[in-house]
Each structure stands twice: as C-alpha cells, then as structure tokens.
Structure 1
Amino acid sequence: MPQLIRLVARRMPADREAVAAALCDVRRKAWTGKLMDLANRFGESWVRRADAEAAAASIATPEPDEDQLRHALRTVIAARLRAAGPDAQAALDSISAELLDATGHLLPADRHATLAQQVAWAFGLDRTETASFVAAAIRAEDRRRAELRGAEQAARAKRRDEVARLRAWEKSLVGIEGIPGLLGCTPKEALRWAGAGLLPVARRQRDRGGRERWEFDPAEIIPLKRDSAEWRRAEQEAAPTRKGEAPQKVSLTRVGNAAIARVAALDRYAAHFATARAMQRRIVLVTGPTNSGKSHTALDRLSTSESGYALAPLRLLAHEFRDALESRGVEASLSTGEERIHVPGSRHLAATVEMCPLRNPVDVAIVDEAQLLHDRDRGAAWTAAIMGVPAREVFVLGAPECIPMVERIAQLCGDSVEKVSLERKGPLRAAAAPVGIGDLKAGDALIAFSRRDVLDFRAELVRRGRRVAVIYGALSPEVRRAEAARFRNGEADIVVATDAIGMGLNLPIRRIVFSALKKFDGEGRRDLNAQEVKQIGGRAGRFGRFEEGIVAVLAGAGSPDFVRHLLNAPPAPPAELRPQVQPDADIVQAVAAEIGSDSLFGVLARIKRAVLRLDDPNYRLADMTQAAAIASAIDGVGLALMDRWTYALCPVDERDNGIQRLARWAVDHAAGRPVVPPAAGRLPDPMQASGEELQRGEKVHKRLVAWRWLSLRFPAAYPDMERAEAETMRLDHWIEDVLRQQRRGRTALAG
C-alpha cells in the first residue's frame, strides 16, 4: 500500500486509469514470480526471467487470471522463438542447443515435444502443419538421442578396453633381471645392451629409494633375440687384444620398432622440428619490463626482412602486430585459431603462437611474451614455437624471468643466443599510501581478479558519477579493443580490468591501483608474485604521456609496502627449467601404431604413462587433462583418430559444458549433418540488460569461438561460417553497447 500511494501521488491528479496503472506497477514483481512458477510447473525450462518480466510488463489489468498471465508469457516467448531462427526448424534447433549448452542435459522427450509445439505456434503453422512438424521433431530427436547414447556407450566401452589394455601391458613389463630369460644372455650382457640403447625401454620408474628402474616390453624384446648373437660377436671383436689396452668402441645399430623411435622423440623433442634443425638459427633474447620497447625493437627488424613471422599470445595482439607491420609499410597476412586473412603476395604473417608455421623457412621471427613458457595451460605452445619456428633470426621477447628457460631451450636446439636487456622508458614507483575508491582519478586503472569484482567496481564507480570502461578475459578481442579505445579517447575516465590488461593493450594509464593483492590461480588463493605485479603495474606511466607510472593499492586491500617490495624484487629463479612439451599429430599417430589401438584416450594414456618419464632431464610433459577428457567423451563417435585429435585440441570451457557440447557436435559431424552455429536469440535492450544476460551473451560468444575454430578445420561439417561471423559481430556490438551504459543507480549490469 505505501508503494501504491507513492506511485499514485506521482500521477496526481489521478483518475481510475492512473490508479489501475499504478496498481499494475506494484503487482508486476509478484506476477513475474508467478509466471516463473507456472513455467517451472509445466517444465518449460526455456522460459527466462527476462521473459516473465516482459510478460508482466505487458499486462494492463490489475487482476489478471492465470490464463491471461499464460497468454502474455506465450506472446513474449513466441517473439523470442521467432527471433531464434529464420524458420521453425532452425528456431527449434537453436533453442534446444541453447538449453543443452546451459544445462549439459537434453530436454526430456515430452518437454522437447512441448517446445516443438510452441515453436510451431510462434511461426503460425496451422493444425496439420503443427502435427507434422512436432512428429518430425520427435523422430529427429529420438534418432539423435539414440546416436548420442550409442556414442557414449561406445566411448565407455573403449575406455574400459583401453584401461584394461594399459594395465595388462604394465603387468607384462619386466625389469632388467628378466632380460636374460627372454634373450638367452647373461645378466651382464643385458646391462650392457640396455645401456648401449639396444634394448628399447618401455617405461622408467623410480623406486622408493630414488633409484631408476627400467622396464621392458617382452613383446619388443623377444624379436631382438636373433640380433643378440651379432651384438655378442661385435663386442668380442671390439675386446682388447693386449693387457692394458682399452676396448674399441662398439658400433651397433639399434634394432627396434620404428614407431617406438618416433614416439620416444618426446625426450628428444628439439629434433622433432626438422626444418628448424636444418637451419643455422640465432636467437635474440630481448628482455625488459613492461613499457621498455621490446616489441618496437623487434618489429623494426622484422619490417626490414624479406620474410617473417610475428607470433603473439592473443588474437588481439596478433592483430596489433599486423597493424604495426602495415604502419611500417609491410603487408602481412593473419592466422589465428578462428580467423584467417590472406594477403596475396605477402611474405609476412602475424599469428597466435599456437598457429606457428613449422615448415616454411623465413628470415626473421618474433615470439612474444616468452615468460608464458612457465604457464601451466599454454607453456608447451611456447616451447614448440621457440624450438620449431624456422627462422634464421628469432627474436624472443619477454620479462627477465624467462631468461633461464630460453637459454635452456637454445642449448637443447644447438642455437646461439644474443641477449639484449632493455630498461623501462619512464620511472615506476609505488604509492606511499592506499587509495580510496572515491579518490580514483581520470587516467587510473583499477585491477580486480574476477569478472564479478570488475562489474561490481564498475557499478559502484558509475553510481558515483564516473565514466568507466571495463576489460576482462571473457570479453572478445573486439570488445576489449573498443573498451580500450573509449578509455584512450577520453570517453571513459577510469578503466576497471582484470590481469588481462597486463598483456598488450597499450593504454594511457597514469596509475595502476590493485583492488586485491591475492588471486585465485585455478587451484587456490595466493599472494600476487613479483612478475605479476611488475607485468600489470608496468602498464602505468605511458611514455610521452606521463612522466612516471604509479602503482598503488586500494584502501583496505593490503599494504603499499607489499607492492613496493615486489616492484623492486629481482627476477625469481624459476622452480622448473625443463620446458613443457606435448604430442602433436605425428606423435599421436606413432603411438597409435605402436599400441595397435584406434582409441584416442588409449593413446593419450600411453603417452602420459610411458613415453616421457617424470624425471626426464630435459623436458616435462604438459598437462593433457582436458584433451584426455574430450578424447574419453568422443572416442565412440565414428570419426577418424586424427579428426578426434583435432577435436581434443579445440578451445572449450569445461565449466560451460564445453566437452558435452563438443561430443554432440562430433555426433552430428560423424552422421553427416551440418553443425549449426550457436546463436544468442533475441537480445534485450542494452539499457535494460542484467548481469545474467550479459554473462549469457559472453558464453554464447565463447561457444561461437569454438565453432569457428572447428569450422576452419572441418568446413564441410561446419559450413555456415558467414552466419557464425554475423552472430559473433552482433554479440560484439551488443556487449559493447551494454558496457557503454553509464546510468547511475540500477546500472545496466545489475541483477
């Protein structure tokens, strides 16, 4: 009643219609809740809260009955279903995929039939057409469910078989003491032949005392028995003929499975890159803090070369490298996981690190952000790029922390190294006192370590009347670039960002302010380390714009002394100097041939267990957990092994049911059905978009990234690239429009 009185007072002088309108406004929240309850009661999981709110807003009578509420909701839902696709079938596919993406589960069969009926009604099909459409939808859904069940069952069966095979293989292995019985030799001969590399070691283990135990596969040892007599004769011929004379060196050719030799190349990983090893390469290691001109130095050299590559960690930075080359008068093509731009006649290429060409020699290459060699998820890509890029002159750019690892890689490759150390162009200092949120000024960047914190700080600053830009990892490169432009041209005073700001995006930042001195790194919360504080804090003090950069901490977030200490700390010695490595298509094929299996899960399990021992002195195996999970999910799909390996490399978010989505796409691919690109459907007005709706749009955008990645590799199965690119662009514009809203009070991102 108090709310009703206030609303009526605003409408004074008020007549019956004004009072009725005010009463409707008061009751809309309750109607929204009732509509959501009705949708849940009928199992209509495709109804969003925004739909219920829109339906409640359309009701003009103060006391609607349940039928009127349902009709209002059906009208709103019909509009959204019509916007989901050009025809009824496309809309049904789009909404079904959206629900599966959101929940990870298929709709129950009866609910799918209900959705099909609502889609038919939305598109105005008559009774006969509706019955035919629903029946066809039920048949298609039943067939797809059967295919998915079959694929899941086949995958589980393959996994059981491969686990059993692996266990049986491990049990069959024998130690060095078992070799004499297999070859008919003495224990001393077995030790000598194993030490000479004549006996292929299947697995190396450490016992409790720390001693290395070699294990051998009898199936590979027994065929070598015919060669043992020749080995023994060669040893006798090389034995000393006079007392005190040193034995001659035995020259024996290792006899073994050629596939095993290829597989074992993981412990000789540098040799895997034949083109690079055939060249006389020189590595120029350029290190220095942020804002020291590393990229500028290397790009100047690349632009004067006849041919070359510029390899960046992000698609956004690959675009910036391409722009930088073009500004120097050099045309360059572009290659990223989801995008190709070919410039006819160009002999330069800007690319993401994972897209590094390995077979076409060039004069100069740049590999940026080499400190990511230590990154748990992507470090192996930097190992492959630095070891394998076929360039006569390789500029490796990074923070000083990368120096020991790059030197180790150069040593393994036999490359010479020239080290160049650059100093920061302007001073960087820690602020003496914490900064209150009300004391943030134009040119400041506030750093948070989660998307939620970024948006919460944004809302608070907008409430205080500040103009704010935001940058965080879930945003596409295009949106990040647009937000950076708003800050750069003065449309926004303050930028609120995650540590994504620490890589690329040269911004005119006067002061970096940390809102927290701890972050979650995927395993737990920990203190920021020196390299992170320097990388992010170094974004302050744009040369030529500000005389110095200032790094501060938000009031209540920690001590300025902590920041000061880390800014002045010397580079920390790396905990691990062995570069990370991971298998490629050749290695996967070799292992599959060795174990005689078509199971990708089995191949990856064998690689993890046996190909590279844990204490290998030169290399360590990268984390393959996600690739193994994808392999396990799609092994039952009727695709070739190498096609499944491609799927295993696709960038997906496990937290967003990414693996289940890949499995569903792979089933369609194997069945010969085109995979429809994800779609966001009708997007709300940016002025009214809630935080939940913004996050939904970001998730659809990430799904489109995965779809486009697969489309470049399987264009026949993922044929509608034009539609996917149009939807990606639509989402980019909408997300940017949402972020541009600077209303006070209830911001566009609240909710």
Structure 2
Amino acid sequence: MKENWQEQLQTLLNCDLKTLYPLARSLNRKLEFYVGPTNSGKTYNAMQKLKEANSGLYLAPLRLLALEGYEDLKESKIKASLITGEEQMLDEEAAHVCSTIEMLDFDLDVDVAVIDEIQMLEDVDRGWAWVNAIIGCPAKKIIMTGSVNALDAIKKIASYLGEELEIIKHQRKNELKVLPKWTALEKLEDGTALIAFSRSDVLKLKQKLQKKYSVSVIYGNLSPEVRRDEAKRFREKKSQILIATDAIAMGLNLPIKTILFTTDEKFDGKSRRKITVNEIVQIAGRAGRYGHFEAGYLGATRRDVLAYISKEFESPIRTIKPPFKVKINNNQLEALSSHIKTNSLTKILKFFADNMIFSGPFVASNISSMLEAAKIVDTRFNLKLEDKYLLAQAPITTKSSIILQAYEAYIASVIKKRVCHYKPSITLPKKAITQKDLLLVEDEVKKISLYLWLSYKLPDIFPDHDKAYILRNSFNSFIEKSLRGNLLEEDNSKKFFHERKQKNNATTRTEKKEISVKKSYKPRRRKTI
C-alpha cells in the first residue's frame, strides 16, 4: 500500500507542462518573437498584426497597458473587450480581448495573440504568468514582443514545445546618446525625465524642483489611473519635467528627450544595490521617442552616477537563463493536499517548491506575496483549501496596515458567507500636507483594488463593485490634485526643528541676547481704516 502511495506521489510530482494545455497543443501554433530595444516599433507592429486578425488577444503586463491596447483597438473601429483583475468591459460581439496576462483564458482560442514584454518571464513573482502564456495560450499565431535578453529563453521554450519559431529583429529608430557631462538640477531642459528609485526620493525631488519647473511624477505606489493622468500632463506639455521611478520602464510611451539618473542604486526588496545594465538600458530606451526627437539622451545629475551609468551602458546585456519559474495550479494543489494529508496552504506550497519536477527548462517556484498571504489564511482552520488558494492570490501588501485589516475582514466574510459592503478606512482631508497623508490615500486606493478583485471572484459576498469604483475615482482625483500642489516632505517639521537647533547653537551670546530683546518687544497693533 505504501509503495503504491509512493508511486502515485512520484507520478504527481513529475509534470510535463505542455500536456496541461490540450487546446493549445491542438492548434499547430506558430511562434513569432518581435525582438528589439525600446523605441524600435516592435509592439506597434505586433498590434497591427492583431488588428488584421479575425480574432485576437492582447496580453499586457499592466492594467494600464491592457486599457491602452483596448482603446487602440476601439479607435481603429475594432470591437473589443477588456478583462483585468479589477474590471471587465465586455462586448458580446467582440472577437478581440485585451487583458492583463494573469487573466488569460486558456479555453478561448483565437487567430492571433500578442504577449507583450516577454522578458518579464524572468520576474521573481510574476514570471510564471508569461511562462504559462507562452506554453498554453490557445492561438494559431503567438506574437511575443520583448528585449534581446529574452531571445535565448524563447528559443529554449520553443524547442521544448517543438513549435516553429520565427525571430523578427527590430532596430531602434533613432540614436541614443550618452551625455558627456553631468547635468545640474538648476539647468534642466523641457522634456527631461529624472529617475529615482523610491517614492520618497521622487516626492523630495518634486518638492525641490516645483519652485522652478512644472512637474509630473510617476511611481509604483500610484494607481494606474493617476500614473496615466500624470503621463498625460507631461505628454501634453502641461508639465516640463517628469520625475519617476523605474515604473516608466514598461510600456509608457512618453515624449522624453533626456533621461537623467539621480542615483545609481536601488533597494530591491532585500538589499540596496547598484542598478544593472539591463535596468539602465530598459529605462534609458524611453528617451528620444521616435517622431518627437531626432535622438534620445542619457545622463545623470551627479558626476559619479554618470561615470557608472556610462560604463554600464556599454556593457553586454545579461541574458535570461533557465530554469523558468512555474506556479502551482489548482489540480496540483488538490492532489498534493490529498497525498500529504494537509489543509495547510503554506505546507503544500513549500512541498511543491521542494519536490515538484518539470520536464523542460522549468522549476517549481512560489510567489513571496502568496506565501505571506498563505500564512494569514492558514490561521483560519474553518477555511476551505480552495478558498485559501483564491484569497492567497489576492493583490495585497503586508506593508500596509489599512490593507491587512481589510484583508482580515474580507477573509471573515468569506468564512461566514456574509455580505461585505465596501467601507473606506479614512476620510479624505481637504488636501494632503505631508507624504504620510498622501500614502494613506494611496493605500486606500489599493484597498479598493483588493475589494474590486474580490467582487469579480465572489460577487455575492462582495457586491459593492460600482460603489468602490466610484470611490476609487474620487480618491484618485484627490491624489492627482495633491501631486500638483505644494506637498511637504514627510519629515519636514523634524527637519525644520533640527535646522533651527543647529542655527541656535551657532548663534553667539550677543546675537541670542538681541533675539530675546526683539522677542520681548511687542509693538502696538495698528488700526486699519
């Protein structure tokens, strides 16, 4: 009996990924890879092929890009549907769908599918979605767009699949030049984008520069709607300077003439490190948008940063190496739960990562955010495994108390099968005075996104989709107005008192005496007529 159990477990733990997608295997698919740098027209050409097809699918890395693809099709008089984790705009007559890559329907076959930013298959937390799409997307023709560092990876996966692969190379349409000298913040030209790598640094730069320039800002914590609004302001020349994190590296087409790095270091979630050549090339490629400028320019706001950027920019791009990460699916989850006799999602996920073996260049992997969520849902013993798995995939961040409290409340509603109405955690102030004020509203928007995600998965329990959607627009509007105003630094008051203390210490006794005399003198208040 034990030997039979071991044999069943070994069979379960050996997986051939391509067999999990029978519809894709039946279509005799052809793979095409439109490879090239930013500003080479590869995504534009892919979208043209999508428009020519009788039916098609655009798979985007971001909700913002899925929406842009959807609007592009609509402008070309092509009926389309939009599907993301938070919203669905369905047209029953449409034969084209634009969606975020995680929302891919493996049972909907089309003529052409465009998988954008294919180099994302290397991403630690989301790479599995690109791997699944390449292997299982049910389209007669799969067009992948991405950078050259993904070329070897695509060749290896195509070889594993035994499918025909055509590589269409794209060259940058205009030159990208490295500036010979660093650029002072006081001498910025219109159409310049400054790159920082944290929300705090972006807002500090904004506070400093808005005295001289009109400024737009883009960073990861902003909702797609606000990012889009800030990008629009810069695109329409309502702002002279863009200050951004590497959030602009993916998909946003902006009329940037010059990219200037303000630092050559970033915190990657684990440690502070130097940025890589791949990151520099991806960001720098946004400079010199074709049709707006004859060339793009790359530089820095410090001499040492420019020296590092210039050297790295000339280095070879790092190629994406196998194995490529694969996430557990529903069938594997249930089967492993049965075999190792546990309802603990955390234990199953760890067992999967430690023991699962895939044929081909793949490896079992877990998503850090899912593991964090699994620890939370596992504390609820009366929660079904399928519900645990669903909730663990929800868009949460454990860094925000607002989101964590909401997540716990939503879990309780799922357990009790009790209707959960959306309630804001904060009341909007008249305006955001500090970075902390703004962060609270940004987190509230993320909480709304969590509710909207659940409203599509469990609409009977989370019915307030429309209300949450309207409130999100209101909060986003507040954020947009705050970013245009004179937002103070988070530690501005502390900085003020620290500077005043230093100044007082440096003041002579005579000067202090003069100050005290001035303080004691109270002039009479003049009457005004």
TM over 0.5: yes
Mapped pair 1:492 → 2:239 = yes
Cα 1:718–1:260 shift into 2, 3 Å:
farther
Q: Distance in 1 between matches of 2:490 and 2:200?
A: 14
Q: Distance in 2 between matches of 1:670 and 1:222?
A: 36
TM-score, normalization: structure 2?
A: 0.88
2:434 maps to: 690
Structure 1 residues 358-397: aligned runs within 5 Å? 358-397=106-145
Seq. identity, %: 32
Q: Aligned partner of 2:424: which letter?
A: A
String of CA shifts for 1:17-67, please: whole Å, max 9, x gaps: xxxxxxxxxxxxxxxxxxxxxxxxxxxxxxxxxxxxxxxxxxxxxxxxxxx
Cα 1:662–1:308 shift into 2, 3 Å:
same
Q: Aligned partner of 1:594: which letter?
A: H
User: Offset at 1:585?
Assistant: 1.2
Q: Is the 8 A contact 2:353 2:366 kept in 1?
A: no
Mapped pair 1:642 → 2:390 = no
Q: Distance in 1 between matches of 2:264 and 2:225?
A: 29
Structure 1 residues 349-364: aligned runs within 5 Å? 349-364=97-112
String of CA shifts for 1:228-253, please: whole Å, max 9, x gaps: xxxxxxxxxxxxxxxxxxxxxxxxxx
1:454 to 194, 197, 202: 202
1:434 to 172, 177, 182: 182
Mapped pair 1:714 → 2:458 = yes
Q: Is the 8 A contact 2:426 2:444 kept in 1?
A: no
Cα 1:607–1:446 shift into 2, 3 Å:
same
Q: Is the 8 A contact 1:459 1:749 kept in 2?
A: no
2:227 to 450, 459, 480: 480
1:539 maps to: 286
Cα 1:645–1:428 shift into 2, 3 Å:
same
Q: Distance in 1 between matches of 2:409 and 2:10?
A: 34
Q: Distance in 2 between matches of 1:709 and 1:429?
A: 43
Q: Distance in 1 between matches of 2:2 and 2:43?
A: 51
Q: Distance in 1 between matches of 2:446 and 2:85?
A: 13
Q: Distance in 1 between matches of 2:5 and 2:291?
A: 72
String of CA shifts for 1:68-126, please: whole Å, max 9, x gaps: xxxxxxxxxxxxxxxxxxxxxxxxxxxxxxxxxxxxxxxxxxxxxxxxxxxxxxxxxxx
Structure 1 residues 666-681: aligned runs within 5 Å? 666-681=411-426
User: Offset at 1:664?
Assistant: 3.2
DSSP-derived class of the 1:346 partner? coil
DSSP-derived class of the 2:167 partner? strand
Q: Distance in 2 between matches of 1:223 and 1:423?
A: 55
Q: Aligned partner of 2:76: which letter?
A: R
Asked which structure has the greater RCO (Cα within 8 Å, sep 6+), the reply is 2
Task: List gaps (5 residues or longer) in structure 1.
Answer: 1-218, 225-255
User: Offset at 1:656?
Assistant: 1.3
DSSP-derived class of the 2:422 partner? coil
2:525 maps to: none
2:448 to 704, 714, 719: 704
Q: Is the 8 A contact 1:637 1:666 kept in 2?
A: no
Q: Is the 8 A contact 2:13 2:355 kept in 1?
A: no
Q: Is the 8 A contact 1:534 1:567 kept in 2?
A: yes
User: Offset at 1:426?
Assistant: 0.8
Cα 1:604–1:392 shift into 2, 3 Å:
same
2:504 maps to: none
Task: List gaps (5 residues or longer) in structure 2.
Answer: 494-529
1:618 to 361, 366, 376: 361
Range 271-280 or range 475-484, more displaced = 271-280
1:608 maps to: 353
Pick the structure with more helix per residue.
Answer: 1
Q: Is the 8 A contact 1:269 1:581 kept in 2?
A: no
Q: Distance in 2 between matches of 1:410 and 1:709?
A: 33
String of CA shifts for 1:119-150, please: whole Å, max 9, x gaps: xxxxxxxxxxxxxxxxxxxxxxxxxxxxxxxx
Q: Distance in 1 between matches of 2:102 and 2:491?
A: 34
Q: Aligned partner of 2:460: which letter?
A: A
Q: Is the 8 A contact 1:633 1:659 kept in 2?
A: no
Structure 1 residues 106-121: aligned runs within 5 Å? none
User: Offset at 1:750?
Assistant: 6.0
DSSP-derived class of the 1:569 partner? coil
TM-score, normalization: structure 1?
A: 0.63
Q: Is the 8 A contact 1:459 1:750 kept in 2?
A: no
Q: Aligned partner of 2:319: which letter?
A: P
Q: Distance in 2 between matches of 1:523 and 1:319?
A: 32
DSSP-derived class of the 2:14 partner? helix
User: Offset at 1:673?
Assistant: 2.3
Q: Is the 8 A contact 1:552 1:560 kept in 2?
A: yes
String of CA shifts for 1:504-547, please: whole Å, max 9, x gaps: 12111110000011111112122211111111111110111111
Cα 1:747–1:642 shift into 2, 3 Å:
closer
Range 349-358 or range 404-413, more displaced = 404-413
User: Offset at 1:620?
Assistant: 1.4
2:524 maps to: none
User: Offset at 1:601?
Assistant: 2.8
Q: Is the 8 A contact 2:277 2:312 kept in 1?
A: yes
1:129 maps to: none
Cα 1:681–1:404 shift into 2, 3 Å:
same
Q: Distance in 1 between matches of 2:191 and 2:354?
A: 52
DSSP-derived class of the 2:399 partner? helix
Q: Distance in 1 between matches of 2:433 and 2:10?
A: 57
String of CA shifts for 1:614-661, please: whole Å, max 9, x gaps: xx7621122334323322322325332212110011111011145564
User: Offset at 1:608?
Assistant: 2.4
User: Offset at 1:388?
Assistant: 1.1
Q: Distance in 2 between matches of 1:581 and 1:390?
A: 18
Q: Distance in 2 between matches of 1:619 and 1:665?
A: 35
DSSP-derived class of the 1:544 partner? coil
Mapped pair 1:527 → 2:309 = no
2:171 maps to: 423
Q: Is the 8 A contact 2:435 2:489 kept in 1?
A: no
Q: Distance in 1 between matches of 2:5 and 2:177?
A: 69
Range 628-637 or range 498-507, more displaced = 628-637
1:68 maps to: none
User: Offset at 1:500?
Assistant: 0.2
Q: Distance in 2 between matches of 1:381 and 1:524?
A: 26
DSSP-derived class of the 1:655 partner? coil
Q: Distance in 1 between matches of 2:482 and 2:492?
A: 11
Number of aligned positions between the proteins: 491
DSSP-derived class of the 1:654 partner? coil
Q: Distance in 2 between matches of 1:625 and 1:725?
A: 28
1:341 maps to: 89
Pick the structure with more strand per residue.
Answer: 2
1:502 to 226, 243, 249: 249
User: Offset at 1:270?
Assistant: 2.3
Q: Is the 8 A contact 1:510 1:541 kept in 2?
A: yes
String of CA shifts for 1:304-333, please: whole Å, max 9, x gaps: 111111001000000111112222221210
Cα 1:388–1:617 shift into 2, 3 Å:
closer
Q: Distance in 2 between matches of 1:596 and 1:559?
A: 55
Q: Aligned partner of 2:326: which letter?
A: V
What CA RMSD, in Å, does the superposition of the two structures yield over aligned residues? 2.1
String of CA shifts for 1:398-436, please: whole Å, max 9, x gaps: 110011111111122221110011001110010000011
Q: Distance in 2 between matches of 1:220 and 1:323?
A: 58
Q: Is the 8 A contact 2:13 2:357 kept in 1?
A: no
Q: Distance in 1 between matches of 2:428 and 2:365?
A: 40
Structure 1 residues 255-274: aligned runs within 5 Å? 256-257=7-8, 261-265=11-15, 268-274=16-22
Q: Aligned partner of 2:394: which letter?
A: C
Q: Is the 8 A contact 2:153 2:322 kept in 1?
A: yes
Larger radius of gyration: 1
1:566 maps to: 312
Q: Is the 8 A contact 1:691 1:750 kept in 2?
A: no
Q: Aligned partner of 1:691: which letter?
A: Q
